[in-house]
Amino acid sequence: MKKLLLSISIICSAFVLNAQTETSLTIKAANNQIISKHIYGHFSEHLGRCIYDGFWVDENSTIPNKGRIRLDIVEALKKIKIPNLRWPGGCFADEYHWRDGIGPRNLRPKMVNTNWGGVTEDNSFGTHEFLELCEMLQTEPYIAGNVGSGTVEEMAKWVEYLNFDGVSPMTAIRKENGREKPWKVAFWGVGNESWGCGGNMTAQYYSDLYRRYATYARDYPGAPLKKIAAGANSDDYKWTETCMKNMGRQMWGLTLHYYTIPTGKWNAKGSATNFDENQYFTTMQNCLRMEELVTKHSAIMDKYDPNKKVALVVDEWGIWTDVEPGTNPGFLYQQNSLRDALIAGTTLNIFNNHSDRVKMANLAQTVNVLQALVLTEKNKVILTPTYHIFDLYKVHQDAKYLPIDFVSPDYTSGDKKIPALNVSASQDETGAIHISLVNLDPNKKITLNTVLEGLNWKNVTGQILTSAKITDVNSFDNPNKIHIVKFNGAKKSGNKLSVELPAQSVVVLELKN
């Protein structure tokens, strides 16, 4: 009897794992909407081991580096074509005084990083070092200025130091510090999380303050600023309303911060690796909330800016879990699983599909912090599952957005359900079509029958990222457990595209003539 029950159980399990649903997609020809490459931006704060023991190694380190900037990380990030890098924070930005981070390193004053672990910051990594890193990465810098504890004069002179090519006290100091020509930094954040760690301000107070700071953050010849205001925390729609009403014409972009918390509880977020399917489902529910947030904040922005001149800049997003056991709680070091890759693919699909308003975004954070692309341990480096998503999705950067029409099958858990499937598509300048597909259901594959209206193609190839378990990770002992492989589950059937999308997977297809 026990053998019979076991056999029935195995058969039922096999049925569940091989179960599938069918859906139809329609992909339409390109319009003039572009998926900005800056949606694929990143964030590096003076937090934990992101800068120090991440990008920036000890001066006596034997790890290959150039001027203390770690070269294996640089090469990995260049491969995925990161378009911009945000620095120095985050919460750190509003206690950072830029003049402490220039000049001879042995003369730079030390400070306490009160936000992140109470460690001593020696300011060895400052403005010149960051901009050298950006030049090595071939990426655009995005600097967050200090509104919380800084002054209007301090911010104004930082902009002058960075961008002015004439005769002035700031340019003279820059040249003394070894930089003859200005960097001409465009992206400029006027404060960060001003509703919280950036000053605990009201929306009205911040919007008035922004107007003052932004007035003195000057456009210098050949270096116009794209000024980015500190926007809302999650669903604070009143903040967005106030900012758009009071300063809509004075900003290039308005930020939104939203983190996926597995449990939804900040005091007990949940493990990065030890979770069951119930918590996985809840995490994906929370991840998909980004769609609602972007939609509702965009609607408010449309009210004041119908021509969509102000960008929605989601410059902090990603999964935030409890730290890895035994690590400093203030360093926010967490592992990165297949679940996190599915979150990254899903979120980027949402941004792509809202690229009429979302023009910039920054995953938190690049190295060793939160949903990192890269983890380091001495001379070892891991490229996380999330890194591989950005590698797959780089084909969408600055490509034409292709609208998609479909109804997703459900992924159910008890009496709750979420969309199992999310998709975005684009067409690059060569005419190649790219379709990114995410199946969040860990139990069922999805069969897709796709019509491409007004689009010509003959051949399809693909790549896939998946693994046996949603808890699987790349470790220092097994750094390539989860990696991109060739996908053979797509074919042309008459004039349609047929796809067998495996459970818990991310697939990117390329269609060419």
Residues 192 and 232 in one domain: yes
Q: Is the pLDDT of residue 12 over 90?
A: no
Same domain, 253 and 335: yes
Q: CA-CA distance, 375 to 70, in Å (whole number)?
A: 13
Q: Residue 124 falls within a domain, yes or no?
A: yes
Same domain, 504 and 388: no
CA 459, distance to chain mean position in Å, is 31
Q: Is the pLDDT of residue 190 over 80?
A: yes
Question: What tens digit of pLDDT does each residue of 471-501 get?
Answer: 999 999 999 999 999 999 999 988 899 999 9
Q: What is the pLDDT of residues 55-74, one digit of tens each?
A: 999 999 999 999 999 999 99
Please check the confidence at residue 377 and state whether its pLDDT lies above 90: yes
Average pLDDT over residues 295-308: 97
The b-or-e profile of 55-87 (16+ CB within 10 A means b, else e) is: bbbeeeeebebeebbbebbbebbeebbbbbbbb
Question: Locate tokens 């150039």: which residue?
Answer: 66
Q: Assign residue 267 a region: left if phi > 0, alpha if psi is -120 to 50, beta otherwise? A: alpha
One domain for residues 281 and 427: no
Q: How far apart are CA 39 and CA 83, in angstroms?
A: 8
Residues 394 and 428 in one domain: no
Closest-CA residue to 190 (of 220, 222, 215): 215
Q: Does residue 8 form part of some domain?
A: no
Residues 422 and 307 in one domain: no
CA distances for 414 relative to 10, 66, 119, 281, 411, angstroms: 22, 54, 45, 10, 10
N-term to C-term CA, the chain: 58
Predicted confidence at residue 232, as pLDDT, reads 98
% the chain with pLDDT above 90: 94
- Per-residue pLDDT, 5: 38
Distance of CA 378 to the CA centre of its chain: 25
pLDDT at 249: 83
Note the pLDDT of residue 13. Answer: 40
Instruction: Among 348, 371, 398, identify where a domain stops.
Output: 398
Same domain assignment for residues 310 and 446 = no
Q: Is residue 264 part of a domain?
A: yes
Confidence check: pLDDT of 4 > 60: no
Q: What is the mean pLDDT of residues 377-393?
A: 98
Q: Are 105 and 124 in contact (CB under 8 A)?
A: yes
In whole angstroms, what is the distance from residue 168 CA to residue 172 CA?
A: 6
Number of domain units in the chain: 2
Pair 413, 502 in one domain:
yes
Residue 231: band (very low, low, confident or very high) from pLDDT cuts 50, 70, 90: very high
Among 1-15, 162-176, 438-452, which is the least confidently predicted range? 1-15
| Domain limit, last residue, from 398, 418, 436 | 398
Is the model's pLDDT at 16 over the cut of 70? no
Q: Which domain holds residue 87?
A: 35-398
pLDDT given at position 494: 84
As a whole number, mean pLDDT of residues 86-91 equals: 98
Domain match, 199 and 319 both: yes
d(CA 379, CA 57): 10
Q: How many CA atoms lie within 13 A of 493 on its CB side?
A: 13
- pLDDT > 80? residue 7: no
**Helix or strand run (H / E) with residue 200:** none
CB of 310 closer than 8 Å to CB of 244? yes
Does residue 373 surpass a pLDDT of 80?
A: yes
Pairing of strands 404-406, 20-28: antiparallel
Alpha helices in 229-370 (DSSP H): 237-247, 277-304, 338-353
Q: Where are the alpha helices (DSSP H) in 329-457?
A: 338-353, 385-393
Provide the CATH number for the domain around residue 430.
Answer: 2.60.40.1180
Contact 357, 300 (CB under 8 A): no
Close Cβ partners of 2 (under 8 Å, ≥ 6 residues apart): none
Task: Answer whether residue 24 is part of any domain.
Answer: yes
Q: Are residues 297 and 281 in the same domain?
A: yes
Domain boundary among 383, 398, 413: 398
Residue 26 included in any domain: yes
Is 15 contained in some domain?
no
Look at residue 21 in the predicted model and tell me its pLDDT: 84
Where residue 357 sits, what CATH number does that domain have?
3.20.20.80
Question: How confident is the model over 197-211, as pLDDT tens digits?
Answer: 999 999 999 999 999
The mean pLDDT of the chain is 95
Residue pair 463/485 in contact (Cβ under 8 Å)? The answer is yes
Tell me, what amino acid is at 253? G
Q: Does residue 11 belong to any structural domain of this protein? A: no
Claim to verify: residue 261 and residue 322 sit in the same structural domain: yes
Query: Same structural domain for residues 47 and 67?
Result: yes
Query: Which pLDDT belongs to residue 468?
Result: 98
Both structure tokens of 235: 């669903």
Residue 1 scores a pLDDT above 60: no
Burial label for 424, CB within 10 Å (0-12, 13-18, 19+), is: buried
Residue 15 — very low, low, confident or very high, per pLDDT cuts 50/70/90? very low
State the pLDDT at residue 248: 79
Q: Which residues are catalytic?
A: 193, 316
Q: Is residue 13 part of a domain?
A: no
Nearest C-alpha neighbor of 435 from the set 443, 427, 445, 444: 427
Helices (H), 305-412: 338-353, 385-393
Q: What pLDDT does 302 receive?
A: 97
